[in-house]
Amino acid sequence: MYEEQRSQAVPGAVLWRAGGGSGVVLPDGCMDLLWADGRLLVAGPDTGPHPAGEVPGGAFAGIRLAPGAAPALLGVPAHVLRDRRVELADLWPAREVRRLAAQVAAYGDPRAGLEALAARRAADTGPPDPLAAEVTLRLRAGEGVARIAAAVGLGERQLHRRSLDAFGYGPRTLGRVLRLRRALALARAGTPYVEVACVAGYADQAHLAREVRALAGTTLSAYVAGSEGANSETPQPSGSRTTA
């Protein structure tokens, strides 16, 4: 079982819940605040597929924050959490985390509690790096790194450093991840693979296949076959970090 819905209180965020299980979650450029059997955790930005079992538990909820939104809220640069799942108490004072966990637990749906927590924290910490939204938008549009750097008034090295803090990796890696997500969505919708490669911005179908293997650890055919019966135990459209 996997369900998600857009947050009404945190711009660009998605609320989700899932049961435990086996499988993988694929990179999406996002970071999540998780609720797992009464514990608060953070899932950092992924660079590849993650196996199930990194976060033990039977039922999970989360708020998936838009690319670049989590570092300001959490108070740590994204690259510190790259490919990691950590207890929130490793980042914030344990007493404060216990208090927040009790508040989340008081909600009938922990997703609502996580949403309220994130909204309050965002109000206290202020907005994320304004560069993040523009870089993400331009990468989704297929712009190259040099052009993006020029558009935002930075050198490529400066843009890379800012991106490490905001996204957990450089803009080229984020661009590859976002392109992969678009390709997977197209393939899942039944688009022929050769058309997927063209629309998503790959040089050809072979290039698409290499990127799916490199970032998702599988083939496009295997991914589509698995997603036909998608639940929390299979690769998700956006990604439950419980099975990451």
Decide: residue 205, CB within 10 A, 0-12 exposed, 13-18 middle, 19+ buried.
Answer: middle
The model's confidence at residue 53, banded by pLDDT at 50, 70 and 90, is: low
Q: Is 13 in contact with 34 (CB distance < 8 Å)?
A: no
pLDDT of residue 119: 97
The percent helix, strand, coil of the chain (3-state, each to 5) is: 50, 15, 35
> pLDDT (tens digit, 9 = 90+) per residue, 127-166?
999 999 999 999 999 999 999 999 999 999 999 999 999 9
Structure-block tokens of residue 8: 């009404």
